[in-house]
Amino acid sequence: MPYQPPRAERIAIPGPAGDLQAVVEIPQAHDPRHFAVVCHPHPLHGGTLDNKVVHTLARAFEELGAAAIRFNFRGVGTSAGQYDEGLGETQDALAVIDYGRKRWPEAQLWLAGFSFGGAVAIRAASSAHPQRVVAISPAVTRLDRLDVSGTRTRSCPWLIVQGDADEVLDAKTVLDWAGRVSPPPVVSVMSGASHFFHGRLAEMRDGVLAFMRDDTLR
């Protein structure tokens, strides 16, 4: 069967600092049991909802039937407000999650993010209680006021994907951090992969799909 692109809706979601620019994508074979929220990289370093890693994550979730929401943090694109060092951005993510839960009240949340957005997703997970978390190259060391050193994702399964040739974040620091948190994440180290997974996006996506399809994880 030929690929059928998801139905895309460009909307504004009310956030704590004003409306947040968002894209909701609903696959043709929509499974209403899940929806996904994907957080983008650092707002001050070119991160937007159109980032290729963010887009790849959304497509992976859509392949599994879930509607996916990509959004711009405050101060990015047409989203209202100003950069808030990760704290306000966590509240933005929670506002988007709240929108998704009101739209699909019976659906479980899949929460994901890349780099800065990965750290935001981990931080938001502690209060959002997702069914699963996926963090790609998460900026888990102290970044501005966003500190996830003591954050837990509670009991849900979660995945960290980290390239060992990351030129932006020190891979060892990320992996050392992952080894100290509880409950422990599933960790996938991609040999030779850069921070942005140049030439490796399909491999990264396949790893995310395998994790999401693993029914043995509880």
Domain boundaries along the sequence of the chain: 7-213
Q: Quick one: CA dihedral 191, 194, 199, 202, positive or negative?
A: positive
pLDDT at 154: 56
pLDDT of residue 76: 98
Residue 151 pLDDT:
60
Structure tokens at 150: 């003591």
- Cα–Cα distance for residue pair 150/87, rounded to 1 Å: 15
Residue 45's pLDDT is 94
Return the CATH architecture of domain 7-213: 3-Layer(aba) Sandwich (3.40)
Q: pTM for this one?
A: 0.94
Report the C-alpha gap between 95 and 78 in whole angstroms: 16
- pLDDT score of 157: 94
Q: Which pLDDT does position 217 carry in this prediction? A: 79
Q: How far apart are CA 176 and CA 186, in angstroms?
A: 13
Residue spans of the chain under pLDDT 70: 1-3, 142-154, 218
